[in-house]
Amino acid sequence: GATTQYPEDELHAVRGKLLDDIDSARRRAKRASVLQKLRAGLATRRTVRPSYGELCFFEHEFRSPVARDCVFEVRCDDPDLMLVASTAEWKGLREAQGMPPGAPGMEDDALAGNRL
């Protein structure tokens, strides 16, 4: 036969749906908040004024904002700037600037294109 639905069943179903909706909204808000905090903490602006044809090399220390292993993508929107994409190139540029060829905590394979 037919199933009889009681008012308390309807109330329970509505409550369940509301709780699911609230949970979903909280997850979306939390994700948006975390992304905003990450973006705010990771964006850096630098001004470099080289002479025409001069090669400038500078480093910016990056620290992960999270306490677990992650892969980060580094972007630079200026077409006149290039990210150092290999550890060998990085070591060579450091040596050319009179800096030690390595840095504490820097792994040999840490640079992989635009990801670190």
DSSP 112: B
Q: CB–CB of 92/99 below 8 Å?
A: no
Provide the pLDDT for residue 62: 72
Residue 89 neighbours by CB distance under 10 Å: 13
- Model's pTM, two decimal places? 0.46
Q: CB–CB of 114/85 below 8 Å?
A: yes
Tell me the pLDDT of the chain (116 aa) as tens digits: 556 667 788 888 889 999 999 988 888 888 887 777 777 766 667 777 888 888 888 887 777 777 777 777 777 777 877 888 788 888 888 888 888 877 666 666 666 554 55
Least Cα distance to 102 among 83, 113, 88, 84 occurs for 88
Side chain identity, residue 50: P
